[in-house]
Chain A
């Protein structure tokens, strides 16, 4: 039975191809000079460079964190290239017609056509390829509504006041080791601004693709939802199949002003490495949002890729009556390791948070939930509900939960539930007795287990996520 499931899990990674584009790539290495060169490539103003350099100097003083339940050889930061961009992007194509067709083909192969007519209606895409944004679709339509959706490298020029005001305001430069590194060397990502009282007319999404060998990708995303506005945003990610590990260290900051709502969904499918743990992406990510009065931030993540994941999308519930949510599905198989969860920091009165996580472990993987719920003295009447469910497939994998609770307000209510279950022989037998093959049976059982989280995803992506799990589980049963 276990053997069958393992076989079913040994799937192909469909996004593992390499695109044949000529790139301009920095020599590996990290120092102030490299940072200056990145800044030059991006044509940045002086203040941006200074910001980077100060972060770099902080980073040099910091230590790599070791508290997560993940085990990997130390990253050699001098062996990584910090900038790579297709040469064809050098002249900044003005329209899609000027974009290298090979780049467009890459996204098409990944199921993300960038030609607006072919796209899912209602979804605008920013496509980031290694260190640059290739194209951002539907910009004019969004501009009509006053919505800004552009590469962050462009926002630095066009909207310096907004960027200066909010960049680093949620995740401070020296928040943690990888965040500080990101501040120093970030290359691209998306910038979103939704004006007061505006409901963003489309779903926004950014698709990150790593292509070049030996490069790190340092994504930086900033979303500001002004008072009473509303936006739903999704990020997706894939990378070629390679024997060497690659680093993706991202920082995402969300600002939800009074009565605003941000829904942020992630479908993470970085290359996970092979069955024996060779290759794969190190996904070290800091994601945090701040909620002002009566604002709401909802994080939903479906994590199926990466060889090592270290990620805790969090909410600072600063304003009274603000709401934070975290819905997560994390699937690990082979030798994958995931240490993921959230932090809900309750500062305001009557703040509310909900955490629902589904960890699925198969093969020899390790899957940990790590979450902090903090009720500060001012969080009168605050509430949290946490539910962590683990599903084990086979008996060589590990599932762990590390819930941390700090309550400094006696009126706050914190509830925590946790379950661990297995895909049982009885369930498999029932499914097969009804004529389902073992692969279908496993993916159906796993999908059922994740249902509470999938229903939080925007419709189009719920289907995608379900399929992704199916692909991830393909071959896990024989």
Chain B
């Protein structure tokens, strides 16, 4: 591998929820600017990985390490991980009735700015940015006034997640099946959102079931996550292979796995 410093390094991570081990010896290295796709069967632990990295209550790390930008993620509070630049676009975004998107987003942006020792953004400036973000993800500006995800359709919720990403400008974006349930137009919006944010100092982990998103977002690496660990890694062509053959060939006995790998 190149000698650039990694943005995220996960080593031999074991994690469990409700006493059930889900992540079982996972390794992953993400360098600045890279896009990694993670694919894998339902129940493999893809969402769990995002929750463990972001520090969701109830998800406990048994052993291993995860380092973001030189900081030990696993020692940090949930909000401090976010402030350190970790963003998770949720597979199932939750509603917060009565709290407007705008208020929520400004508070989030301000909390992150404060952590960096910056002043709060002015309302006028923020509104301008928020409107531009709306436009980019193809949501009417009126969504800024609505309660967070309140009564949004599935697709609108996903686009709202993306809008948050645009405004928070994280270093590491984890998108958990942001493409699921989207029609082709919405899919393109998501892809464009990601592509527009790609830069030398921002990395992505894109969890997806479908090759089609990867037609638009060209990943640098594709990993297969199965039963709590990465069982195969490759370049973008691996996604095509998976599309054709499914995951079954990767889930057989260990001996065969080794043969294939």
Contacts and interface: CB of A to CB of B under 8 A. Distances in A.
Decide if A and B are genuine partners.
Answer: yes
Interface of A: 1, 424-438, 440, 444-445, 447-452
Contacts, number: 77
A111 B82 CA distance: 36
B98 A437 contact: no
B78 A433 contact: yes
Mostly helix, strand, loop or mixed at chain A's interface? helix
Contacts of A436: 79, 107-108, 111
A450 B98 contact: yes
Contacts of B259: none
A251 B98 CA distance: 34
Given A1-B57, A425-B57, A433 B82 contact: yes
Interface stretch (B35-43, B89-97, B208-216): B89-97
Interface string B49-81: 000001111100000000000000000011101
B90 A430 contact: yes
Given A435-B79, A436-B79, A427 B96 contact: yes
A445 B105 CA distance: 13
B82 A435 contact: yes
26 contacts: A1-B57, A427-B94, A427-B96, A429-B78, A429-B94, A430-B96, A432-B55, A432-B82, A433-B78, A434-B82, A434-B104, A434-B108, A434-B164, A435-B79, A435-B83, A435-B111, A436-B108, A440-B111, A444-B96, A444-B104, A445-B96, A447-B99, A448-B96, A448-B97, A448-B98, A449-B98
Interface of B: 54-58, 77-79, 81-83, 87-88, 90, 93-94, 96-99, 103-105, 107-108, 111-112, 115, 147-148, 164, 168
Contacts of B108: 431, 434-436
Contacts of A1: 57
Nearest to B77: A432
B99 A444 contact: yes
A440 B79 CA distance: 11
A450 B147 CA distance: 13
B79 A437 contact: yes
Q: Can you list the 10 inter-chain pairs with the closest CB atoms, starting with the nearest?
A: A448-B98, A448-B99, A434-B108, A451-B98, A432-B78, A435-B82, A426-B94, A435-B111, A435-B112, A432-B79
A433 B107 contact: no
A451 B87 CA distance: 28
A445 B96 CA distance: 7
Contacts of B82: 432-435
A444 B94 contact: no
Contacts of B56: 429, 433
A104 B148 CA distance: 44
Most-contacted residue by chain A among B87, B88, B97 (CB, 10 A): B97
A430 B94 contact: yes
A2 B42 CA distance: 31
Given A1-B57, A437-B111, A448-B99, 9 more contacts: A425-B57, A430-B94, A434-B104, A434-B111, A435-B108, A437-B79, A444-B96, A447-B99, A450-B98
Nearest to A452: B98
A389 B173 CA distance: 36
Nearest to A434: B108
